[in-house]
A = this chain, B = another copy of it.
Amino acid sequence: MQLIEGPDEVRAWSRAARARGERVGFVPTMGFLHEGHLSLMRISRSRADRTLVSIFVNPTQFGPNEDLDRYPQDTEGDLAKCREVGVDAVYMPPREAMYPPGAQTWVTVDGLTGGLCGRNRPTHFRGVTTVVSILFHQVEPDLAVFGEKDYQQLQVIRRMTRDLQMPIEIVPGPIVRESDGVAMSSRNANLSAEERAQAVELNRALSWAEEQVDLGVIKLLELVPEVCSRIESQPLASVDYVEVVDAETLQPVIGELTGPARVALAVKFPSARLIDNWPLVPGGAGEA
């Protein structure tokens, strides 16, 4: 497995692969890798001939009072995991290689970023789309894999790639959960034992909502308030938002479900803010 630090080097690696007729798959990460990330790497390996993983804790997607300084890191552990999965190269650029002095260019996606996490994190997504643009120009992959756990991010990246006509296929990876249902996240490592125990309710409340929809419930008033109160029954959990949105446009669903939707939430614990989401398909997905 090759370790790469420079933008020129990563571009050369990628171009050499493509010159050999190989398809390059790319999994951008902020490190502190867990089974969720590894599942994205396996998807890349199954779809491309070469897989490159980047590890870069991107400062521009953190707000001024967010957890950039205590974002967990474990380079040795990350590299061991990449090796196990069979990743071909890991790109770990220093900050100056991503944002040279005087950098002042932003890539923004307008409509998709106003709601959900964009409401309380107004500069978050332009940080994501900008860093992903930079990485895409450096790595020039044929495909890139993004997890559905950050569902809004996935839709925003898809829209950016389509609008700016980047020749890159965006491949979604399903959410990977712990045995108790908690969505895997690097930020779970920051939770106390008590917070971690209470975090189980996020997934439980979402799966309750899905059951209700499968039983024929389509009114949001019969779904959203109950999801909120189930989560807030946990003393350390404070709901940032629970929203039901169109699965593609992320526009809020009004009144009742009429087509494929996503229920998404963000919940603040004292030590970390967690997100999760779940598809809601009225009439049942593939059911009679």
Contacts and interface: CB of A to CB of B under 8 A. Distances in A.
A258 to B, nearest CB: 19
Contact of A166 (B102, B112, B137): B137
Contacts of A106: 107-108, 110
A133 B103 contact: no
Contacts of A105: 107-110, 129, 159-160, 163-164
A198 to B, nearest CB: 37
Contacts of A112: 104
* Residue with the greatest number of chain B CB neighbours at <10 A, chosen from A100, A108, A112: A108
A167 B110 contact: no
Contacts of A167: 11, 137, 140
Copies in the complex: 2
Contacts of A130: 164
A96 to B, nearest CB: 12
A243 B2 CA distance: 51
Nearest to A97: B165
A25 interface: no
B110 A104 contact: yes
Given A105-B107, A108-B106, A108-B108, A100 B163 contact: yes
A190 interface: no
A163 B102 CA distance: 8
A163 B104 CA distance: 7
A220 to B, nearest CB: 24
Given A104-B159, A105-B159, A159-B105, A164 B133 contact: yes
A8 to B, nearest CB: 9
A26 to B, nearest CB: 15
* Residue with the greatest number of chain B CB neighbours at <10 A, chosen from A7, A109, A111, A133: A133
Contacts of A108: 105-106, 108
Interface string A92-103: 000000011011
A253 interface: no
Contact of A162 (B100, B107, B109, B163): B100
B134 A164 contact: yes
A165 B134 contact: yes
Interface in A118-169: 129-130, 133-134, 137-138, 140, 159-160, 162-167
Interface of A: 7, 11, 99-100, 102-112, 129-130, 133-134, 137-138, 140, 159-160, 162-167
